[in-house]
Amino acid sequence: MTGALTGFFRDEAPPSVVWRALEPVTGLSTKVARVVKNDTVFFGVVAGDEPNSVQAAEKVLKSGGTAADAATVLALSLAVTMPSAASLGGGGVCLVHSPGDGKTEALDFIAPAPERVDRRADRPAAVPALLRGVAALHARYGAVDFRSHLGKAEQLARFGHVVSRASAKEFLLAASPLFTDAAARRVFARSDGHPYVEGDRLVQQDLADFFAELRIEGVSNFYNGEIAEKFVRAAQAAGAGLTLSDMRGFRPRWRKPIQIVFRNLILSFAPASAGAGVAASHMWRMLALNDRYRGVNASEQMHLLAEAGKRAFGMRDQPSNGTDAAAAMQSFDSARATAPNELTAKAHGISENPSQTSFVVVDLVGQTVVCTLTNYNLFGTGRVAPGLGVVLAAAPGRGDRNALSLGGMIAANVEGQDVRFAAAASGGAAATTALMRVAADTLASEKTLERAMLGARIHHSGAPDITLIEQDVPDAIVARLVRKGHRIERAPSLGRVNAAECPLGLGVGSEAAACFVFADPRGNGLASEAER
């Protein structure tokens, strides 16, 4: 299976796992930030899939903003710098840890489908959720004026940004179908008709003007006011089928995360309908059961990951608890691959679009935000709201367009004060298993985060009965997996993880305290420490 454009802008379902070839990467984009008492002051760490947005968030941390402030700017900046995966028309889910009260919360701003879709709407769009989502995040945990955050995104659009390799690859993948829309072509095609490439400067005046209106009139006006009316007219002209009732009806929700106690840590996962969070919580319980993951060698860990994955994907519609995980693992056999039809909870083989993006932010006191954002398809509907420059996210519930790949996790100590690990992932169905591979290696096997990020990955979603492995998995391990009955196919890469680890926590007041932050070498993102 190759090509991320299967079913592009159409409703037929692509394969359950879609991957794209990536350029070889020799090392991690990694930073180590230390709290020191002399020349350097630590303000936090940030990692994400698109470098311009990461740098924008870093500046917010350096200026004294909280992790929520930085995450808000990062999300808004992505709507400018990586509109293929995140836009004002899309949505997502975040986890937020507050060290002051030791609480971790989930913020659900997953973009819903319209209540009714007019039959004249040939490209139904999701109800825009991002703005109300980041506004809710900022209202609870931010410290800087929200209008300032909108202004930063406005400046990126008005004065332009240098197109990153991450975004240039998305432009190239989508160019042919995307440019059939006049408004999208006007924004994303150069004067010679070709898509923007790495190093080009992309200016988006319509989007800048739209951000300026939001800055002046306020986000509420986008959902219930003159800006809402203007947006709906533009969206309807683009075949989106949105109404003012859809806009007025959307509200983000603060929710209790799925939480699991592991050793001296509390692990928090995004709850349903963020399917990757639910599946990851099931996988974690299976991997941690009787300390099974840490107690076996590398090839047995790969087998265990595949077996846990095929069970967890069949349990995404079930509440996460230790009893169900233990029951699911009763059929586990270390000597053979369990056939999916032998499992009690069978995966449905639902397709999951890999077009999404994730990031992680930790500030100087340990406030932590991890988010996964999506347009449900590469550039959403493939259309831009004319005159506004906003990419319209595809309506969920059609083909592979769903929230099943959204998720993330945060691990804090039992006292709830110090974050030890935080990560989120993208890449479709493989986001779940990639995240669990890194988390299990770091927290269960106690490897360094660097080793965990570089470790080869394996994926099994239960349907079809195929075990995907990355190309650099040693032949000896592949042979052992085949002998156990796995049907192996190789993939260039599986998932993209952004992760941070603070082994001693923060607020320790010692030069020994450190945070390590990594962007996945399988992508073209950036990890950065905020120091000055």
Q: Give tens-digit pLDDT for 484-516.
A: 999 999 999 999 999 999 988 775 444 556 789
Phi, psi of 204 (to 5 degrees): -130, 85
Residue 318 tokens read as 């079930």
Residue of 500, 441, 455 lying closest to 67 (CA atoms): 500
β-sheet bridge partners, residue 269: 258, 409
Mean pLDDT of 77-88: 98
488 forms beta bridges with 467
Residue 32's H or E segment, with its range, is strand 29-34
Residue 253 has pLDDT above 90, yes or no: yes
Establish if 12 belongs to a structural domain.
no
Peptide bond into 148 cis (omega under 30): no
Residue 387: what pLDDT?
Answer: 97
Residue 447: inside a domain: yes
For CA atoms 341, 345, 349, 354, give the dihedral sign: negative
Average pLDDT over the chain reads: 90
- Grade residue 318 by pLDDT with cuts at 50, 70 and 90: confident
At residue 531, the pLDDT reads: 77
Q: Tell whether 1 is covered by a domain.
A: no
How many angstroms separate the CA atoms of 46 and 14, rounded? 33
Q: Which residue pairs from 57-63 have beta carbons closer than 8 angstroms and sit at least 24 positions apart in sequence?
A: 57/359, 57/361, 58/528, 58/529, 58/530, 59/530, 60/144, 60/149, 60/152, 61/361, 61/363, 61/364, 61/530, 62/530, 62/531, 62/532, 63/144
pLDDT at 351: 86
> Which positions ≥6 away from 212 have C-beta within 8 Å?
154
Pick from 23-37, 339-353, 414-428, 476-490 the range whose average pLDDT is largest.
476-490
Least confident among 234-238, 240-244, 397-401, 419-423: 397-401
Give residue 416's pLDDT band: very low, low, confident or very high (50, 70, 90). low
Render pLDDT for 147-171 as a digit per residue (tens, 0 to 9). Answer: 999 999 999 999 999 999 999 999 9
Placement of tokens 């499992």 in the chain: 343
- In tens, the pLDDT along 184-231 reads 999 999 999 999 999 999 999 999 999 999 999 999 999 999 999 999
* CATH label of the domain that carries residue 497: 3.60.20.40
Residue 17 falls inside a structural domain: no
Apex 314 CA angle, 310 and 317, nearest 5: 145
Residue 22 lies in a domain: no
Residue 35: pLDDT over 50: no
The tokens describing 84, both together, are 């293929």
**Is there a domain that residue 301 lies in?**
yes
Mean pLDDT to the nearest integer, 44-48: 96
Q: Mark residue 393 as left, alpha or beta (left: phi above 0; alpha: psi -120 to 50; beta: remaining).
A: beta
pLDDT value at residue 118: 77
Cβ pair 111, 402 in contact under 8 A: no
Residue 39 confidence (pLDDT): 59
**What pLDDT digit, counting tens, does each position of 273-297 carry?**
999 999 999 999 999 998 999 989 9
Nearest to 309 by CA among 488, 407, 429, 404: 429
What is the extent of the structural domain holding 110? 28-532
Q: How many alpha carbons lie under 13 Å from residue 431 in its C-beta half-sphere?
A: 35
Confidence of residue 322 (pLDDT cuts 50, 70, 90): confident
* pLDDT tens figures, 370-396: 999 999 999 999 999 999 999 999 999
* Confidence tier at 2 by pLDDT (50, 70, 90): very low
Residue 239 lies inside a defined structural domain of this protein: yes
pLDDT band at residue 270 using 50, 70 and 90 as cut-offs:
very high
Answer yes or no: is pLDDT of 142 > 50: yes
Q: How confident is the model at residue 345 (pLDDT cuts 50, 70, 90)?
A: confident
Q: What percent of the chain has pLDDT over 90?
A: 80
Q: Label residue 46 by pLDDT band (50, 70, 90).
A: very high
Amino acid making up residue 499 = A
Domain count along the chain: 1
Q: Is pTM, for the whole model, over 0.85?
A: yes
Q: Out of 37-41, 70-74, 263-267, 387-391, pick the least confident.
A: 37-41
Residue 21 located in a structural domain: no
Tell me the C-alpha distance between 356 and 378, whole Å.
Answer: 8
Quick check: 526 and 360 in contact, CB under 8 A? no
Rg of the chain's alpha carbons, rounded to an integer? Answer: 22
CB neighbours (10 Å) of residue 243? 18
